[in-house]
Amino acid sequence: MLAHHHPNEFTYGSVLSSCDRDRGRQVHTLALKTSFDDYVYVGNALITMYFKSCCSGDNNDEYMTIFKSMPTQNLITWNSMIAGFQLHGLGEQALEFFSQMHHGDIEFDRSTIVSTIGSLCYSQYSGNGKMLSLEHCRLLHCLVLKLGFIREVEIVTALVKTYSKLGEDVAECYQLFAEASGTQDVVLWTAIITTFADRKPEEALLLFGQFRREFFNPDCYTFSIVIKACAGLATERHGSAVHGMIIKFGFEGDTVLANALIHAYARCGSIDLSVQVFNLMVVRDTVSWNSIFKAYALHGRGRDALKFFAQMNAKPDATTFVALLSACSHSGLVNEGTKIFDDMSRTYGISPQCDHFACMVDILGRAGHLLEAEALIKQMPVSPDFVVWSALLGACQKHGETKMAKMVSMKLMELEPKNSLGYVLMSNIYYSNGCFNNAEHIRKKMQGSKVMKEPGLSWIEIGNRVHEFASGGRHHPQREIIYSKLELLVGRLKEIGYMPVTSLALHDMEEEQKEEMLHYHSEKLALAFALINSGYGGSVIRIMKNIRICVDCHNFMKLASVLFQREIVVRDANRFHHFRNGSCSCSDYW
């Protein structure tokens, strides 16, 4: 223009594509002055520009005003609106626009359908919102079949992603994927692997193997999903194998993948490998530091986390302090945790939220400062959530505080009536104090409310296969050998000092019966199975458990590590326990 060349509609469109909101408004004003705002190409560019800048879903938003004022609207106009709504998570508005197109006999294409399907993941319907979104996805799926678009790989990918996010059965997602045979690309493969990664990580890794056999090359995003599946399986051999492939494909310098590996190795119990990956990183962002802090927290190495925090050269965020406070909690660092909590707002300007308060309540509660923990909850600027109250209830159980526990358990039952935690912990507290009638009352109330207790389960990998054990379970093919081995093991451990903590058997029964109940906890069954099938070499025995390890099993594992001169690693619901030579890495503080 300075060179006296007059812009046309394409000039305006190109300029608007690179503008932020303020500069875009200036160009918009110029378009109005030169009467180019009526051109459909310019109108489409204005809609896209305003969507990039801001979107509330309000009819008075600038993109909506432009859409309504356009003398002519084409397919790109409608697609721009639907894609904009999808970008900002406004699924209902996207669906409404698509409905107007469909019922108004306005032509639509593949891009229209892909954006509309994708927007359903973000629909914020009241009540049964997810079910409504799922129903709309099925209706769109039917339309896709009717119009013959089902062979379009982009549409199949959108359907797989949306069905997965809305909780559809993985088998249905896989069927869609399989029906696209011959047109599958890396994006669709990654979508189906993502679907399985959260719910069936072992099958996600099998799919990744198939993906490679089809001669597809993974990109960074594919690898990030596969690492996530490795973390879900918590087996080091899978993580190491994928790590090797990342190096082979030249992605070892990728910060996102390194962050994912730090997390995966920590989840597998290999904290030293997490630290190794972190130390070899060329570029570290805030997520990198948060990942190593979380890794140390998971393994109860609070002082190491604080040492690394002192070296942090990235700006900490709210997640940083959750990880640090968790690390302090698992290590009994009350003073250090209190200082970190105070420094959050005072030094770093980050207001503590529920997660931070929950960690601080846990720090105080574990150390026996129950009144201080309760006072902190009362001072919270936000309403305490389930996690905050459950931290206090766990502390009440640890220190036998029945009166406070009763109040806290009621809070938990009010917040999440179908969550078993409040019922189970309160019942356990009553049993531990000999209040059997009160305990039974809680159990009956739980049954009457149809609340299901999470069963105690443990997993162990032997011979490239994961074996599951339930407390008292007798379904394993080697059950007779396992139970026989366990009885011998208990006898040998008693000879070197093992004494069953029968107060943990939560029933009014004879001492011998209580001992028998304790013997068949899931992690003990897993240990016996490991000893039967892995020999007596020096390899580490790794057991995963879904709930907190009890005091009796903790003592059992410590003595077993002495008897067999092997390291035993148990990951429970809260953290890792590394048992070596009769000691645990948690220093009996968990």
Q: Tens of pLDDT along 418-447?
A: 999 999 999 988 888 888 889 889 989 998
Q: How confident is the model at residue 84 (pLDDT cuts 50, 70, 90)?
A: very high
Counting residues of the chain whose pLDDT is more than 70, the rounded percentage is 94
Averaged pLDDT of the chain: 90
Say which range, 73-82, 501-510, 512-521, 558-567, has the weakest mean pLDDT: 501-510
Average pLDDT of the residues in 107-120: 93
State the pLDDT at residue 516.
61
Q: Tens of pLDDT along 356-366?
A: 999 999 999 99
Residue 590 CB-half CA count within 13 A: 27
**176, pLDDT greater than 50:** yes
Rounded-to-integer distance, Cα 134 and Cα 144, Å: 15
Mean pLDDT comparison of 47-61, 112-126, 422-436, highest-scoring range? 422-436
Which sequence spans correspond to the domains of the chain?
Answer: 353-453, 457-584
Rounded-to-integer distance, Cα 581 and Cα 15, Å: 70
Say which range, 181-190, 447-456, 512-521, has the weakest mean pLDDT: 512-521
Are 577 and 586 within 8 A, CB to CB? yes
Average pLDDT of the residues in 47-62: 75
Say which range, 2-16, 72-86, 141-155, 515-529, has the weakest mean pLDDT: 2-16
State the pLDDT at residue 503.
65
Average pLDDT of the residues in 312-324: 96
State the pLDDT at residue 126.
44
Higher pLDDT among residues 53 and 56, named by residue = 53
Nearest CA to 424 among 441, 406, 443? 443
Helix (H) or strand (E) holding 541: strand 541-545
Counting residues of the chain whose pLDDT is more than 90, the rounded percentage is 68
Average pLDDT of the residues in 69-97: 92
Q: Is 215 left (phi over 0), alpha (psi -120 to 50) or beta?
A: left
**232, pLDDT greater than 70:** yes
State the pLDDT at residue 473.
79
Stated pTM of the model: 0.85
Q: How confident is the model at residue 510 (pLDDT cuts 50, 70, 90)?
A: very low
Q: How confident is the model at residue 57 (pLDDT cuts 50, 70, 90)?
A: low
Angle between helices 110-119 and 153-165 (to 10 degrees): 10
Give CA angle at 29 (25, 33), nearest 5°: 170
Non-local CB neighbours of 167 within 8 Å, separated by 6+ positions: 130, 134
Are 543 and 524 within 8 A, CB to CB? no
Residue 254: phi, psi to the nearest 5?
Answer: -75, 125
State the pLDDT at residue 511.
46
Residue 224 CB-half CA count within 13 A: 11
**454, pLDDT greater than 80:** yes
Higher pLDDT among residues 57 and 13, named by residue = 13
Higher pLDDT among residues 389 and 537, named by residue = 389
Q: How confident is the model at residue 515 (pLDDT cuts 50, 70, 90)?
A: low
Are 448 and 439 within 8 A, CB to CB? no
Q: Which residue reads 């199975």 in tokens?
A: 529
Non-local CB neighbours of 215 within 8 Å, separated by 6+ positions: none
State the pLDDT at residue 2.
45
Q: Tens of pLDDT along 205-219?
A: 999 999 999 989 999
Domain at 353-453: CATH code: 1.25.40.10
Residue 6: phi, psi to the nearest 5?
Answer: -85, 130
State the pLDDT at residue 140.
94
Higher pLDDT among residues 446 and 322, named by residue = 322
Higher pLDDT among residues 164 and 128, named by residue = 164
Residue type, 395: A
**498, pLDDT greater than 70:** yes
Average pLDDT of the residues in 258-283: 96
Higher pLDDT among residues 361 and 121, named by residue = 361
Q: Tens of pLDDT along 193-206?
A: 999 998 999 999 99
Are 549 and 569 within 8 A, CB to CB? no
